Amino acid sequence: MDTLKNLPEGERILYKDNIFSGNYDQSIFLKKANDDGSHRPKYYISAFSPKDGMLSMQGYLYFYLDYETKKSYFVGVKVYPEFRNLNIASFLVASWIDLCLSNGYDFLGVNQKQRKPFLLYLLKTYGFEILDKSLYETRPDIITICRNEDLLDYTKYLSFKDPKHESNFTKTNIWKEDNYHIIHDLEGFITLDNVILPLQNAKKANIDYQLLDTFIARAKTEETIKKHTK
């Protein structure tokens, strides 16, 4: 029986309990969206924390499932401002990977509409990558992900290869909503990785990140979930 396929629509189901992030106790819920007639229904994994006798949502991750091909596609993740810098996004990604692999969905991809550079970097740390790595050397829409040498600085630093790409990115809603800062001198910063982030409707936007290293994914997923388990 396909456990995920047979979840009741629109009902939030407790998935994991007795976990925590930072000083917050957590419960993780799984929800299948109401059927819209698509062969790829949407699912949500949400993190909640007790607050004033009620559950307060910390953030959520949403993804598609294709029952026939046993594929899952990551769409996005959102963590509310008061709960950021607690590794909640990483824990939600780990929960998604663990859920899919445990239910036989062994192809995990990333929706091409994903526009957040640091989120793509996070997925790369879990074994996601593009098939043709030579594109990192040839495309103008490369972004270098950086951190301040002061590890207590949680600002998301970006360095762009192409000034036009940089200018266009600063006009997006993602730039306005997230804590990004552009740098042009890498001195004093730690280079983490490169991602390719074509702007919406850009030519040659067909960049597919998918899970290529299951060993890394399983190891990091196990480590992340263990860190959050009481």
pLDDT in the model for residue 167: 94
Read off the pLDDT of residues 49-61 as tens digits, 9 standing for 90 and up: 988 778 899 999 9
Same domain, 184 and 219: no
- Asked if residue 6 is part of any domain, the answer here is no
- How many CB atoms neighbour CB 65 within 10 A? 22
Task: State yes or no: pLDDT of 1 exceeds 60.
Answer: no
- Asked if residue 188 is part of any domain, the answer here is yes
- Separation CA 175–CA 169 (nearest Å): 7
Same domain, 30 and 74: yes
Same domain, 20 and 55: yes
Same domain, 66 and 142: no
Q: How many domains does the chain have?
A: 2
Same domain, 96 and 139: no
85: domain CATH number is 3.40.630.30
Q: Which residue has the tokens 């949403």?
A: 62
Structural domain containing residue 147: 132-196
Q: What is the mean pLDDT of residues 88-93?
A: 96
Higher-pLDDT residue of 36 and 104 is 104
Task: State yes or no: pLDDT of 226 exceeds 90.
Answer: yes
Same domain, 105 and 68: yes
Task: State yes or no: pLDDT of 136 exceeds 90.
Answer: yes
Closest CA to 115 of 183, 30, 39, 201: 201
pLDDT in the model for residue 203: 58
Q: Provide the H-helix boundaries in the chain.
A: 88-102, 117-125, 135-138, 163-169, 173-177, 214-227
Q: Quick one: tokens of 188?
A: 């004093």
Task: State yes or no: pLDDT of 110 exceeds 70.
Answer: yes
pLDDT in the model for residue 177: 84
Backbone dihedral angles phi then psi of residue 102, each to the nearest 5 degrees: -70, -20
- Separation CA 58–CA 60 (nearest Å): 7
pLDDT in the model for residue 52: 74
- Asked if residue 169 is part of any domain, the answer here is yes
- Separation CA 222–CA 123 (nearest Å): 15
- Alpha carbon 171 to its chain centroid, in Å, reads 22
